[in-house]
Amino acid sequence: LAKTTQPISMDSYEGQEVNITCSHNNIATNDYITWYQQFPSQGPRFIIQGYKTKVTNEVASLFIPADRKSSTLSLPRVSLSDTAVYYCLVGEWSNYQLIWGAGTKLIIKP
């Protein structure tokens, strides 16, 4: 099973681009990479999912290099409301083998 490692915490400022990297050296061929956001007193919320190269949606981008041993969640022009914990999840659903990272606490300062 892939083990996921991500930084415990990060700080940034409003208007900056923030990149959070997740390491998953043992990722399997069929594994997908998914990122979730969690605010205090709420359950995690899906942000983005990808398999390789780059995926972009209205809130974030996900960069996955060719070897897929890491992935980077990119949040453009963050605001105070982006202060949250971000989780990386690696795995595949066909066999329910899923590994969650421990989460990165992102604090955005004015």
Partner 1 sequence: DVKVTQSSRYLVKRTGEKVFLECVQDMDHENMFWYRQDPGLGLRLIYFSYDVKMKEKGDIPEGYSVSREKKERFSLILESASTNQTSMYLCASRGGGALGEQFFGPGTRLTVL
Q: Which 78-107 positions form the footprint of partner 1 (CB under 8 A)?
A: 87, 92-94, 96, 98, 100-103
Interface positions, 4-43, toward partner 1 (CB under 8 A) = 8, 32, 34, 41-43
CB of 37 to partner 1, least distance (A): 11
Dist CA 101 CA 5 (whole Å):
6
Closer residue to partner 1 (CB): 81 or 94: 94
CA–CA separation, 92 and 28 (whole Å): 9
Identified binder of partner 1 from the candidate list 17, 46, 52, 77, rule CB under 8 A:
46
Contact flag: residue 49 with partner 1 (CB under 8 A): yes
CA distance 78 to 97: 32
Dihedral angle, C-alpha 8, 107, 49, 103, nearest 10 °? 20
The tally of CA atoms less than 13 A away on the side-chain side of residue 66 is 0
Binding positions for partner 1, rule: CB under 8 A = 8, 32, 34, 41-46, 49, 87, 92-94, 96, 98, 100-103
